[in-house]
Chain A
Amino acid sequence: QVQLVQSGAAVKRPGASVRVSCKASGYTFSNYGITWVRQAPGQGLEWMGWISSAHNTKTNYAQKFQGRVTMTTDTSTDTAYMDLTSLSSDDTAVYYCGRDVAIIDFWGQGTLVTVSS
């Protein structure tokens, strides 16, 4: 069965960077893209961007995150990564990865990133 398992919760200081991983199983990783979505506490869903698992350089980032986010994939381990730099308290959120077939048909369990001094 399709599964996306994300890395554990992280606490970061303002100005730091965070890396969230998303390990896929149960399907051919390179056949689907990966989308990243975040959700601040008590808030709605926010689309961050997308990466092609087959072509690591093919990405589409939301303008809001341009310059701060980098999405990559490793087809040798079927893992996607999302790096976010220059963290502030506004980046405190649960970060989700999802298998992308235009829509997100399977989701990871989410990773809570807390930014606090």
Chain B
Amino acid sequence: EIVLTQSPGTLSLSPGEGATLSCRASQSVSSTYLAWYQQKLGQAPRLLIYGASNRATGIPDRFSGSGSETDFTLTISRLEPEDFAVYYCQQYGSSPYTFGQGTKLEIE
């Protein structure tokens, strides 16, 4: 089973700043089958990024993903108030399709 470790656990920033979230895999993720989801309190997750770097439909271009093999990054430029949420990475290249433990992005 591929274990995904996200860092930091909590990130405190202000609107307008940039955010960098990390997701590290215990083994290489095949074909960059890595996705990022955003979850707000009391809501279902929302797909942001798939294939490590492809934005899902309707996702603003301030969200970008990068990385390969075992190291992946979600970057949010110019944080908006609605961006403060919990972010999860997921690998879907090797069953079971595991999630990271999440990074909480909170307002400083």
Contacts and interface: CB of A to CB of B under 8 A. Distances in A.
Interface of A: 35, 37, 44-47, 50, 60, 62-64, 96, 102-105, 107-110
A35 B97 CA distance: 10
A28 to B, nearest CB: 18
Interface of B: 1, 33, 35, 37, 39, 44-47, 50, 56-57, 88, 90, 92, 95-102
A96 B44 CA distance: 8
B44 A47 contact: no
A45 B35 contact: no
14 contacts: A37-B99, A44-B101, A45-B45, A46-B99, A63-B1, A102-B92, A103-B92, A104-B37, A104-B45, A104-B47, A105-B47, A107-B44, A107-B45, A109-B44
Given A46-B99, A102-B50, 17 more contacts: A44-B99, A44-B100, A44-B101, A45-B37, A45-B88, A45-B90, A47-B90, A60-B95, A64-B96, A103-B35, A103-B50, A104-B45, A105-B56, A107-B44, A108-B44, A109-B44, A110-B44
B33 A102 contact: yes
With a 10 A CB-CB cut-off, give which of B44, B47, B57 has the most chain A CB atoms.
B44
